[in-house]
Structure formats: C-alpha cells, structure tokens
A and B are shown apart, each in its own frame.
Chain A
Amino acid sequence: MGYGFAAILRRDLLLAFRNRGEIANPIIFFFIVVTLIPLGLTPEASRLAVIAPGILWVMALLASLLSVEGLFHSDYRDGTLEQLVISPQPLYLMVLAKILAHWLITGLPLTLLAPVLGMMLSLPSAGYLPLVLGLLMGTAVLSLLGAIGAGLTVALRKGGLLLSLIVMPLYMPVLIFGASAVQRSVDGFSVQGPLAVMGALLAFSLLISPFATAGALRVSMHG
C-alpha cells in the first residue's frame, strides 16, 4: 500500500530536481513582490515593521497559490494522472505523496527563506521564530487546500484564475492565524494559541484534503 506513496514521492522529487529552475520560481516571486512593498509604500523601517507580518503572510499565500496550479497539470497533459486514477494503488495516498512533494519543493524553501525577507522588511526580532513555525505548518495547509482546487480545475482550459477564486476563501483562516502569531509575538504576547490552531488546521486538512482531492481528480478525469 505504501508502495504507491513512495514511488510517487520519489518520482515527483526527481522530476523537480531535474527541472531545478522551476523550483526557484515561487521563491523569486516571493522576493520580487517583497521588493515592491518598500517601493510602493515607504522605505522607512519603523513603518515597514508594522506591516511586515501581514505582508509576509499574504505573499507566502500568493506564492503557494501560484505554484499549486501546476500540481497536476503536466501529469494531466501526458496521461500520467489517468494511470494514477485507474491504478490499483489507493488514490488517497498517491495524492498525499504528490502534495507532500509539492510542499517539500515550494513550502519548505519558502519557510526557510522567510527570515531573510523578514529582515529586509525590518521585522522585529521577536517575530522570526513564530514566522518560521507558522509558515512551516501553514504552507503545508496551503498546499493541502490548494490541491483540492487544483484537482477540480486541472481539466479546464482557463483553470488558473478560477483556481485562485475557489481556493482563496479557504486560505483565510491560515492567513489570520499565521499573521497574528507573528504580530502577537512582536507585541510581546504568547503565541501558543494561534500556533496550536495552525497545528489543528494542519491535522484537519491532512485528513480531509487527500479525500477531496482524490474525488476532484476522479471528476476531472471522467468529465
């Protein structure tokens, strides 16, 4: 049973490693947009520090959204997805493997680079740890929820905009708790609450999302 999971995970990571340029895209996007903020608003450190927690989280959300669109796309085009759907391995686990691979190549690097961006936006030092911890769990939730939308829109010609339309409302709790964890830490409050909720969101979406995504992929393949 775990064979399908391991095979898909290895295949997706290998594919990503062979196309290293694509891994960098969401990260470059993250950097460019963060560069736009001081240009558009103000280079003043004191004012940037106020908005940094929210900006960083909104950007991470957008970067994840952009990358999740391609989660099933090439597999759909070359017929791999069809083989996955009809294969005797449980689709639930194979989808989970794809999501995990996606998180490893987009969410995790984003999380690790977030402190650098925080520094560029002069985030106060108390905010770094909750930012990284929150993003570590939060980007996984974003990948899981985004996969449902990607599964529903993979067969559509203009899926990209539609995907963001249907997935963004579901992203809101992640944004609220992620950004507030950083904000609370900067303001000197305990961050256990929002981080615990983020963990709960992760556990919950880990249960629900592979089922929903597998269902969505079946719809897309037969429709």
Chain B
Amino acid sequence: MWQWFHRLGSPRWFYQTSGKWLPWLGGITFLLLIIGLVWGLGFAPRDAKQGNSFRIIYIHVPASFLALAGYYVMAIAGAVGLIWKMKLADMVMKSAAPLGAALTFVALVTGAIWGKPTWGTYWVWDARITSMLVLLFLYMGVMALQHSYTSVDAANRASAVLSLVGMVNIPIIYKSVDWWYTLHQPATIKFTEAPTMHPDMFHPLLVMIVGFYCFYALVLILNTRSEILHRERRSSWVKNVVLQNQR
C-alpha cells in the first residue's frame, strides 16, 4: 500500500515518470493560460470604477495565491525530507524556494503597478502588501541559507528547519501585521474592489488561477528534474540519459 510512497523516494523513478507527464501538463498549462489571458484581457467587461486597469488582477491574484501556497509546498517538502530522509523531497524543497520567491516578487510588482492608477501611489504600507514583503524576506532567508552551506546534506536540513520555523511563524506574522494595520489605518486609502465580482470577470480569473497552479507544478517539476540530474550526476542512469539526449 505504501509502495508508491517509497517509490517517490527514488529520484530516478520520479525523473522517468515525470518525463511522461510533462507534455500533458505543459499542454494544459499553455492552453489554460492562453484562454485565461485572452478572455481576461480582451473580453471581460471593463470595471465600472477602475476601467481597464483592473485587468492586472488576472496576473496579480493567481501569483499572490501561489506565493503563499508555494511556501507551504516548500516547508512540507522540507519536513518530509527531514523526517523520512527522502532525497526527492529535499530536491523539491530546493526547487520550490526560488520559484516561490519569484511569484512573490511578481505579486508585489503587479500590485505596485496596479496601485499607481487606483491609489495614486506605487507603494503603501498596507497589511497585505507588508505581509507579502515579509514573505519575500522569508523566501530569501531560506535561499541564502541553502546557498551558504557547502555540504548538500547540511544545506537541505538547515533550510528545512528554517522553512518549518517560518511556516509556524507565518500565521503569527500575518495576524500581527493585520493588527498593526488596523491600529494605524490611514483614512485616505481604501480598497476600491467591489466585494463581489461579476461572473463575467470572475470566470477568466478562475481559469487563470487554475492555469497558474498548473504552471507552478510544471516549473516545479522542471526545476526538480534539473536538480535531480545535477545531484545524481555521478550515477550511471544519469549518464545514460545524457548520452541518449546527445545522440
């Protein structure tokens, strides 16, 4: 019953199996993102208050979703690696860190671009923005720690410990930032988003969110595959794979 779980521990098995998934996953991702983008940017109705500028949510919202989900993916992979000493989980954790940091950065930048026409400024110390910034710092800490160890094993375990500590702290940090914001709430700036979205605007967003999840999975698998090849470069099966590709 647990066979699949033990199989997951083998980087070689994962490399070969994920190779079969990749074309499908890539195709679905590409399709969803194209549909979502064309629908959202071209055909969704204009917002009554914000005009066309609201259309950036089709990038901003999915990126923000995955920025946070990515941290949990990283931390859980780290925990699995720490507890069951699973090589693959360590590789997934390492691959998830830059990906999550990049998505957090995208969420921050699109938020800033969106902020200019709607709030009149690129940056405000809003609770959600500040939490996102802290999340970026947490990612960067994990990445910096990972890179500063010379031993691969120590780097994995150290960053796994740090990402677990971060995961425990994320709710606390988020709540405290929320509390801080309500204490200092500036009166001039308010979210102009309508509380409920029109279905015509919401459906493309849903497509984009699913598309971003697929995109995340795709890039995570690709990153992990290259990490596998790098770490297992001395084994014979990797040499065979490389030789086959050269032919």
The answer to whether A and B assemble together is yes
The answer to whether A173 touches B172, judged by C-beta atoms less than 8 angstroms apart, is yes
The answer to whether A170 touches B165, judged by C-beta atoms less than 8 angstroms apart, is yes
Q: Considering the chains assembled together, what is the distance between the CA atoms of A170 and B174 in angstroms?
A: 11
Given A158-B148, A223-B153, residue A148 in contact with residue B176 (CB < 8 A): no
Q: Which of B36-44, B136-144, B202-210 contacts A (4 or more CB under 8 A)?
A: B136-144
Q: Considering the chains assembled together, what is the distance between the CA atoms of A96 and B151 in angstroms?
A: 28
The answer to whether B169 touches A170, judged by C-beta atoms less than 8 angstroms apart, is yes
Complex interface bits, A150-183 against B, C-beta within 8 A gives 1, otherwise 0: 0011011010001001101110110011001000
The answer to whether A223 touches B157, judged by C-beta atoms less than 8 angstroms apart, is yes
Q: Which of A10-18, A86-94, A127-135, A214-222 contacts B (4 or more CB under 8 A)?
A: A214-222
Given A162-B148, A201-B172, A223-B158, residue A176 in contact with residue B166 (CB < 8 A): no
Given A156-B149, A158-B148, A220-B158, residue A208 in contact with residue B165 (CB < 8 A): yes
B69 within 8 A of A: no
Q: Which of B22-30, B177-185, B191-199, B216-224 contacts A (4 or more CB under 8 A)?
A: B177-185
Cβ contacts under 8 Å, A155 to chain B: 154
Question: Per DSSP, are chain A's interface residues mostly helix, strand or loop, or mixed?
Answer: helix
B145 within 8 A of A: yes
Cβ contacts under 8 Å, B35 to chain A: none
Q: Considering the chains assembled together, what is the distance between the CA atoms of A90 and B144 in angstroms?
A: 30
Q: Considering the chains assembled together, what is the distance between the CA atoms of A223 and B169 in angstroms?
A: 25
B77 within 8 A of A: no
**Chain A residue nearest to B169 in the complex (CB):** A170
Could you list some 26 contacts between A and B, CB below 8 A?
A148-B161, A148-B165, A152-B158, A158-B148, A162-B144, A165-B144, A166-B145, A166-B162, A168-B137, A169-B137, A169-B138, A173-B169, A173-B172, A173-B173, A177-B176, A177-B179, A180-B179, A197-B176, A204-B172, A208-B165, A208-B168, A212-B164, A219-B157, A220-B154, A223-B149, A223-B155
Q: Which 7 A-B pairs have the closest CB atoms?
A: A223-B154, A166-B141, A173-B176, A219-B157, A169-B137, A176-B180, A176-B176
